[in-house]
């Protein structure tokens, strides 16, 4: 989301800067480039006009008789004293030459911080006329600083506008992102307040409709699975009774084995629905003791399970549900993995339970499918080991409902690694 907001802001800034830059370029082409030449243009016309008037004075005119007259203009026998500003002198001479009145003028400054004086020679009279320069152009680099300041102001203004625009455009997307982040383990979205701008209200309303439909679909699926699992038990019970009267013992054993498998599938399906529909109340549980208890119970039933390093940790979970989930994972390691080792540690506010087995692992392309209901590694779905294929699905549902997560991966050196993370109790 931040990347999209940044892209929109950059796009708006580039668009504004490009438009203003193009407009500035066209203005320069039409009006002319700003600089010292334009700023002394009026001064050059004034100098030329006064010089022409001075050339019309009579030959016996005495310069000293009008000294310090006419608003600071002076008639002198030599140029005004002070250091000559060569840059301004060259600019003013160039401007006079451009208007067709070239004159060897001199620009000087009598004292620091005083106005610049322009000295114009009156060749026909043999003396000089000095006058203050009304406009002084900026330093040579001032044009670049002005341009830089102008563009900086445009960019800053455009950035402010771009931030407002990008935030407004991405608000509905932020709403969607936030709603998705709050999706619960049951797959439904939280109810959003339908307030704010038009597009915000429309997005919230659409998400609320989607949430309602998802909830209805989930409830319908759970009712269907629960009803199917429940309804299967009655005909299976009748079939089990009839199987007891089969004369051939081998046939009777096959019938009973198939019925037991059907019973496990139905029971697992109902259990999965119950975990989704009825979340249990959480309590503080000492995880190390629970791990040893479940491992010892299964080991007593003949399963190859051992415990490694068990770190003491308290977690806030539904005890019976977590016990069921851990039992499913341990049974999975013992039956399908040829034996497993259970260990735990504390890391980053979580209790991490690791179950590593000694089996061949799972092909990498099937790792993402292990939590799907009725998943089996064997594509032909042969049942070399009894089970309904819902153990990992039920474990994942329980762990996520308790605020944790589960990851299954192939361990280095062989075997499957099941890692469960459960938040520590406050």
Strand, helix or coil for residue 267: helix
pTM: 0.47
Q: Is residue 190 in a domain?
A: no
Selected residue with higher pLDDT from 391 and 317: 317
**In angstroms, rounded to a whole number, what is the distance separating the alpha carbons of residues 349 and 407?**
17
- Summarised one tens digit per residue, pLDDT across range 171-217 is 777 777 777 777 765 566 777 788 777 777 888 888 888 878 777 76
Q: Is residue 193 in a domain?
A: no
- Summarised one tens digit per residue, pLDDT across range 106-121 is 888 777 777 778 888 8
Indicate if 345 and 238 belong to the same structural domain. no
Strand, helix or coil for residue 277: helix
Q: Is residue 57 in a domain?
A: yes
Q: Is residue 252 in a domain?
A: yes
C-alpha closest to that of 396 among 422, 377, 414, 376: 422
> DSSP readout, 18-72?
HHHHHHHHHHHHHH---SHHHHTHHHHHHHHHHHHHHHTS-TT--GGGGTTBTTT
Average pLDDT estimate for 344-349: 90
> Which of 192-196, 267-271, 319-323 tops mean pLDDT?
319-323
pLDDT value at residue 69: 46
Indicate if 55 and 7 belong to the same structural domain. no
- Summarised one tens digit per residue, pLDDT across range 124-166 is 667 787 877 765 555 555 556 776 777 788 888 888 888 888 8
pLDDT at 362 over 70: yes
**In angstroms, rounded to a whole number, what is the distance separating the alpha carbons of residues 360 and 337?**
7
- Summarised one tens digit per residue, pLDDT across range 67-102 is 444 456 777 777 888 888 788 788 888 878 887 888
**In angstroms, rounded to a whole number, what is the distance separating the alpha carbons of residues 402 and 425?**
11
Q: How many domains does the chain have?
A: 4
C-alpha closest to that of 343 among 305, 316, 370: 305
Domain hosting 87: range is 36-132
Indicate if 14 and 154 belong to the same structural domain. yes
Q: Which residue has the tokens 């208890």?
A: 293
Indicate if 334 and 377 belong to the same structural domain. yes
pLDDT value at residue 211: 79
Q: Is residue 186 in a domain?
A: no
Q: Is residue 223 in a domain?
A: yes
Indicate if 269 and 297 belong to the same structural domain. no
Indicate if 304 and 393 belong to the same structural domain. yes
pLDDT value at residue 24: 75
Indicate if 334 and 401 belong to the same structural domain. yes
Indicate if 322 and 209 belong to the same structural domain. no
């Amino acid at each position: 989301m931040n990347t999209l907001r940044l892209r929109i802001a950059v796009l708006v800034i580039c668009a504004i800067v490009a438009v203003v830059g193009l407009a500035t370029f066209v203005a320069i082409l039409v009006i002319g480039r700003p600089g010292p030449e334009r700023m002394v243009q009026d001064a050059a016309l004034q100098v030329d006009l006064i010089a022409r008037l001075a050339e019309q004075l009579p030959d016996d005119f005495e310069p000293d008789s009008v000294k310090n007259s006419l608003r600071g203009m002076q008639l002198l026998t030599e140029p005004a004293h002070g250091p000559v500003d060569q840059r301004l002198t060259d600019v003013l001479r160039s401007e006079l030459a451009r208007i067709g009145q070239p004159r060897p003028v001199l620009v000087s400054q009598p004292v620091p911080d005083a106005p610049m004086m322009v000295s114009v020679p009156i060749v026909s009279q043999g003396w000089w006329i000095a006058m203050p320069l009304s406009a002084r152009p900026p330093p040579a680099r001032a044009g670049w600083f002005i341009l830089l300041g102008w563009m900086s102001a445009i960019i800053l203004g455009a950035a402010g506008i771009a931030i407002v625009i990008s935030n407004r455009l991405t608000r509905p997307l932020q709403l969607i992102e936030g709603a998705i982040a709050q999706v619960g383990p049951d797959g439904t979205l939280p109810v959003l307040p339908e307030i704010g701008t038009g597009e915000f209200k429309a997005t919230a309303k659409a998400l609320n409709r989607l949430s309602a439909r998802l909830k209805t679909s989930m409830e319908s699926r759970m009712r269907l699975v629960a009803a199917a699992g429940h309804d299967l038990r009655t005909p299976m019970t009748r079939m089990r009774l009839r199987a007891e009267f089969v004369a051939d013992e081998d046939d009777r054993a096959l019938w009973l084995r198939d019925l037991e498998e059907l019973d496990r599938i139905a029971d697992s399906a109902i259990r999965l629905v119950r975990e989704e529909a009825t979340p249990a109340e959480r309590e503080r549980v000492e995880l190390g003791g629970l791990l040893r208890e479940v491992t010892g119970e299964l080991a007593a039933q003949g399963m190859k399970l051992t415990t490694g390093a068990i770190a003491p940790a308290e977690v806030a979970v539904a005890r019976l549900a977590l016990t069921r989930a851990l039992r499913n994972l341990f049974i999975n390691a013992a039956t399908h993995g040829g034996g497993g080792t259970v260990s735990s540690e504390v890391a980053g506010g979580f209790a991490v339970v690791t179950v590593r087995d000694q089996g061949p692992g799972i092909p990498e392309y099937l790792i993402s499918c292990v939590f799907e209901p009725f998943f089996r590694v064997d594509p032909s779905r042969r049942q070399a080991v009894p089970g309904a294929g819902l153990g990992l699905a039920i474990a994942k549902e329980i762990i996520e409902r308790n605020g944790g997560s589960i990851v299954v991966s192939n361990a280095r050196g062989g075997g499957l690694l099941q890692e469960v993370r459960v938040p520590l109790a406050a």
